[in-house]
Structure 1
Amino acid sequence: MSVSSLADVWNGLAGAQPAPPRLVVVGTAVLALVAVGPYRCWRVSRHVVTIAHEGGHALAALLTGRRLAGIRLHSDTSGLTVSAGRPTGPGMVVTGMAGYLAPSVLGLLGAVLLTAGRITVMLWAALVVLAAMLVMIRNMFGVVSVVATIGIVFAVSWFASAQTQAAFAYFSVWLLLAGGVRPVVELQRLRRRGRVPYSDADQLARLTPLPGLFWVVFFWVGTVVALLFGGWLLARAMTRGWL
């Protein structure tokens, strides 16, 4: 690759991209709501949320000094992140807290980048995170899921038009923001039926003096606040003339 080509790639990455029309932003929001609404759609889109969920556990484990043993993603949209270290203490608590909040936090960070016009930065940052996560996947379905996601994001970021990249980026952010809320609602429904005795909320209840319901409410408030704030950022960008 020539120096000029490298410079073009860098300029495309570092520079701000033209924002899409308002119809794209609103349309992708509606599409994301459809993706997390009907059960058949949710069965597909939830895999993306699960990748973010387990990635949150993994990153929190590393940041708190735990040793990350591996990540598994399953075809039923569940996942498991295993880390080694003290079975109790702040590291375990932070690692347990991170999963349900991770999709919403990533969506919020994506909203910040999009309102600044950094569409390409957002897409390439997603590629870096997914590639780092791929190294720790320990089952075939997980490898296929992450590789497929990397392939889709790379194809859009490298070959698609600016408008298509923008639509894909906005849809991804809306999906993470909206998709972060539904698993928390499902978690409490399953807890009431006694079907998830080892859920993140129940593990946190064993690690802290706070009951599992507290942690469900904590997750729900965090994800809803992220959805509202992220949506407000994108809406404010439209009214201030970014779009």
Structure 2
Amino acid sequence: MGRWLVTILFLIVSAFLTQWIPFSSFFRNLNTLIHEFGHALTTLVLSGKVLYIELYSDHSGVTRSAVKDSWAFIPVALAGYTTSSLFAWFMFSLDAKGKQKLALSIITGIAVLSLILFVRNSFGMLWLAGFIALTVVVLLVGGRKLGRFYYLLISFLMLEDSVFGSFSLILYAWEDSMSAGDATLLSQHTPLPAIVWAGFFTVFSLWCAVKALMTFIRPKNAPKPVTASNESQLF
């Protein structure tokens, strides 16, 4: 329980500090991108069809898809928040292994695929193009300090948004069970109410955040993830 409390306090402080970083708001669509991509990927795995994805300036998004069987709505609805939470943990895991460039290449690849295949609204397409261009520049010519700052900024923003975004569902479900997004969709296809699903997403995101931060805050006597022989792989 102590780690969970530390994680919550850490995320609150992190959210407060990142508000003061110029242009940090631009990157808050990253969590939305991964969330919606999770919906789209799960739809395709279940032999469904992704109609389109839209990303909005208020950091929200929507995925319209069609599946053959009604039960398929359950894994598709589950995929959004769980994918974004797992991906935030994934970012910190690769950071601990000194594979920041690999992680940025993967998220850039997701952005490129989304731009080509799924995203169709004007803001979403412009945002994706800007993020892809900026990340490619950082990968190619960004120095170690700039690259490290860039990586940690987007990693912490994604971690914050994955937790706070899930928690917001509880508030939405409490006020109106029909306005809780994925939790509402799950409640319509299962016996559980929306607020229970919102609670599940929140607990899962916190669990991923605990794992991510424990990876980031390693004990001082822990072995370093990289050696001098592969230091050139870092920023």
Q: What is the TM-score normalised by the length of structure 2?
A: 0.81
Structure-2 change in CA distance of 1:124 and 1:182 (3 Å):
same
Instruction: Specify which of 113, 116, 131 is matched with residue 132 of structure 1.
Output: 113
One-letter amino acid of the counterpart of residue 100, structure 1? Y
* Bigger Cα displacement from structure 2, 160-169 vs 222-231: 160-169
Give the CA deviation at 1:238.
5.5
Q: Which residue of 2 aligns with 1:111?
A: 92
Query: Where do 5+ consecutive residues of structure 1 fail to align?
Result: 1-28
CA contact (8 A) 2:37 2:114 kept: yes
Aligned to 1:225: 207
Which of 79, 102, 105 does residue 121 from structure 1 map onto?
102
1:144 and 1:101, CA in 2 relative to 1: closer, same or farther beyond 3 A? Answer: same
Please list, as runs of the form range in 1=range in 2, the aligned pairs for 1:76-91 lying within 5 A after superposition.
76-86=58-68, 88-89=70-71, 91=72
Which 4+ stretches in 1 moved above 4 angstroms?
29-32, 35-38, 40-45
TM-superposed deviation, 1:41: 8.3
What is the alpha-carbon distance in structure 1 between the residues aligned to residue 221 and residue 178 of structure 2?
A: 44
SS at the partner of 1:80? strand
Who is 1:183 aligned against?
165
226-235 or 98-107, which deviates more:
98-107
C-alpha deviation, 1:35, in angstroms: 6.0
Residue of structure 2 in register with 1:25 after alignment: none
- CA shift, 1:168, in A, is 1.5
Cα distance, 1:120–1:232 mapped onto 2, change above 3 Å: same
Task: Report the Cα offset of residue 237 of structure 1.
Answer: 6.8
Question: Which residue identity does 1:76 align to in structure 2?
Answer: D
Q: For residue 218 of structure 1, report the CA deviation from its aligned partner.
A: 0.8
Q: Quick one: distance in 1 between partners of 2:221 and 2:142?
A: 27
Does structure 1 conserve the Cα–Cα contact (< 8 Å) formed by 2:172 and 2:179? no
Residue 174 in structure 1 maps to residue 156 in structure 2: yes
Aligned residues: 213
Q: How far apart, CA to CA, are the structure 2 residues paired with 1:43 and 1:156?
A: 18
Return the alpha-carbon distance in structure 1 between the equivalents of residues 220 and 138 of structure 2. 24
Tell whether the 8 Å contact from 2:180 to 2:194 is kept in structure 1 after alignment: no
Matches within 5 A, 1:19-98: 32-34=14-16, 44-86=26-68, 88-89=70-71, 91-98=72-79
Which residue of 2 is the match for residue 212 of structure 1?
Answer: 194
Computed over aligned residues only, the root mean square deviation of the Cα atoms, in angstroms, reads 2.6
Letter in 1 for 2:53: I
Which stretch has the larger CA shift, 126-135 or 40-49? 40-49
- The share of aligned pairs that are identical, in percent, is 23
Structure-2 residue corresponding to 1:148: 130
Equivalent residue letter for 1:182: F
Separation in 2 of the partners of 1:52 and 1:113?
17
Letter in 2 for 1:77: H
Alpha-carbon spacing, 1:239–1:173, altered in 2? closer, same or farther (3 Å): farther
Q: Secondary structure at the match of 1:236?
A: coil
Q: SS in structure 2 opposite 1:86?
A: coil
Aligned to 2:218: 236
What is residue 8 of structure 1 aligned with on the other side? none
Taking structure 1 as reference, are residues 142 and 196 closer, same or farther at Cα in structure 2, changes over 3 Å only?
farther
Query: Relative to 1, partners in 2 of residues 1:158 and 1:238: Cα closer, same or farther, differing over 3 Å?
Result: farther
Task: Give the 3-state SS of the residue equivalent to 1:242 in structure 2.
Answer: coil
| CA distance 1:132–1:47, change in 2 (3 Å) | same
Bigger shift: residues 229-238 or 112-121: 229-238
The structure-2 alpha-carbon separation of the partners of 1:32 and 1:61, relative to structure 1 and needing over 3 Å to count, comes to farther
1:164 partner letter: L
